[in-house]
Amino acid sequence: MGFRITNAMMYQRTVRDLNSRNLDVDRYSRQSETGDKFQYASEDPVGMSSKIKLSAEISAYTQYDVNAGYAIDSLGLEETALNSIESSLQRANVLMISGENGAYSIDERKAIAVELSEIKDEVASYMNTRNASGEYIFSGSLGDTVPYTENPETGLWSYQGDSSQRSVNASPSVKVAVSDPGDSIFSVPLPRSVSLGKDDKAAIEYTGTSDFSTWYNQNYKTNTDEAEEKKANTLSVSVTGDSYTIKNADGEEIAKGAYSDGGDIEFHGLTLHTEKGYAGGTIELEPPENDNILNTLQRVIDALNDPAVTGDNLREALDRGQIHNLATLQSAGQALGRIGGRSNIAESVISSNDDIRDVKKEARATIAEADSVESASNLIQALNALSMAQRTFSMISQTSLMDYIS
C-alpha cells in the first residue's frame, strides 16, 4: 500500500519548519541585542525562576548598602555634634577653673558668666542637632521631637525624647544603630550630696567634692523601699570628749578622729563645721541624681552673677559644676567610641555586601546571560537555516506535474 503526499501536507510541513527557523532567528537576535539567554519563562522555566530569585537578592544587597551608607552618614553627623560639644565643654571647664579666682571682681565674674551662657546656648544647639531629613538625632525614636527644651518659668532644661535607638539593616544579619538617645549621653550623675539632721548644730561644706563622690558611689546602698534606702544611707556622728566617731547604718565604724568643741570634722571630702556644744548628729546621703549639663551650666552662671555667693560657696558651686562637666565629657567620649565602632561595622558590612552581590551577579550571569560569541554564531546558523528553508519552500511551491511532462 503506497503513501500519498499531498501538496497540502508539503505546505504545512514547510510552513512549520519556516516558523521554527524564524523563532530561532528571533531568539538568537534577541540574545545578541539584550545579552539575555531568555526573555520568557516558557523558554527556560527553571532558569527564569533562578534569575528572578537572584535578581531579588542582588537588589536586596544593593539596598543594604544604601542603609549602611545612611548609617555612616548619620553616625558621622552625630560624631561631629559630639566633638563640637566636647570642644565647648572643655572651654567651659577652663572658665569655671578661672572663676574660682578669689581676686576677681563681680564684673569679672559676670564676664565669665556671659561666655558660659554663650557656651550653654551652643551646647543646647548641638544637643538638638537635626540630620538632612530634618530629624533630631538625639531624640531616640522620636525624630520629630525636639530632644531638649527649656521651661520658661524655671529655666530648667529637660529631655523630651525616648530611650530608643534608631537602627537600619546593613545586611540580612547585621543591624547598625544610627542614633543615640540624648538621655544616654547627656544625663549623667551629679556630684553626690548629703543633708544633716535638722537639729544638728553644724553646717556641711564639700571640701573635696570629687573625693566625696567617689566614696559615695562605693558605699551608697540602694533599696526598692524608699524608707529602707534612706535608713540604710544614714550615718551617725557621735562626740565623746575630744574625739568623734562616724558609723554607718549597720553600726560599723567608718571614721574617727580628734575633736575640739566647735571645731571641724573631716570625712572623705566633707567638712562638718560644728557649733559650740555640738554633741553629734546624722549625715544622710542624698539619693543619686542625674541631670543634663545645660542645667549645671545655668547653676554655675547664676552663682557667678550673684554677688552674695562668695568664698567657699562660690568655690563649691564651681567645683560641682566642673565635676558634672567632666562627667559629661567622659560620657560624650564613650559615645564617640561606640560611634566609631558602629561606623567600622557599617563599612565592613558594605565591603562584605559588595563581595556577596558580585558572587550572585556571576551566578545570575551564568544562568541568564548569553555568551555574545555563541549568540552571534547561533544567529548566523539560524539565518542560514532559515534561508535554506525559504529556498526549499520556493522550490516546492513551484513544483507541479507539468514540470515533469515538459
pLDDT tens over the chain, length 406 residues: 555 555 566 566 666 655 665 565 566 566 555 656 666 676 678 877 887 888 888 888 889 899 999 999 999 999 999 999 999 999 999 999 999 888 889 999 999 999 999 999 999 999 999 998 899 999 999 999 999 999 999 999 999 999 999 999 998 889 999 989 999 999 999 988 999 887 678 888 888 888 888 899 899 999 999 999 999 999 999 998 899 999 999 999 999 999 999 999 998 989 999 999 898 899 999 999 999 999 999 999 999 999 999 988 898 899 999 999 999 999 999 999 999 999 999 999 999 888 888 888 888 777 766 555 555 565 566 556 556 656 666 665 655 555 555 5
* pLDDT in the model for residue 394: 61
* pLDDT in the model for residue 27: 61
* pLDDT in the model for residue 52: 82
Q: Where in the chain is the domain with CATH 1.20.1330.10?
A: 55-190+304-355
- DSSP, res 173: S
Q: How far apart are the C-alpha atoms of 162 and 143, rounded to whole Å?
A: 10
Pick the CATH number of 55-190+304-355 from 1.20.1330.10, 1.10.1040.10, 3.40.1000.10, 1.20.120.1200: 1.20.1330.10
Integer CA distances (angstroms), 277 to 3, 129, 220, in order: 141, 57, 30
Q: How many CB atoms lie within 10 A of CB 213?
A: 23
- Give the contacts of 21 (CB within 8 A, at least 6 positions apart): 382, 385, 386, 389
Contact between residue 324 and residue 191 where contact means Cβ atoms under 8 Å apart: yes
Query: Beta 175-177 vs 167-169: how paired, if at all?
Result: antiparallel
* pLDDT in the model for residue 377: 60
The phi and psi torsions of 369 (rounded to 5 degrees) equal -100, 135
Contact between residue 136 and residue 180 where contact means Cβ atoms under 8 Å apart: no
* pLDDT in the model for residue 279: 87
Integer CA distances (angstroms), 66 to 61, 307, 345, in order: 9, 57, 14
The edge-to-edge listing of strands for the beta sheet with 280-285 is 194-196, 280-285, 234-240, 243-247, 253-258
Angle at 119 between CA 323 and CA 129, to 5 degrees: 100
The phi and psi torsions of 140 (rounded to 5 degrees) equal 70, -135
Q: List beta partners, residue 280.
A: 238
Contact between residue 265 and residue 280 where contact means Cβ atoms under 8 Å apart: no
The edge-to-edge listing of strands for the beta sheet with 202-206 is 202-206, 270-274, 264-267
* pLDDT in the model for residue 241: 86
State the first-to-last Cα distance of the chain, in angstroms, to the nearest integer. Answer: 29
Q: Does this model's pTM top 0.85?
A: no
Q: How far apart are the C-alpha atoms of 52 and 318, rounded to whole Å?
A: 67
* pLDDT in the model for residue 102: 82
Q: Is 288 exposed, middle or buried (0-12, 13-18, 19+ CB in 10 A)?
A: middle
- Chain-centroid distance, C-alpha 258: 54
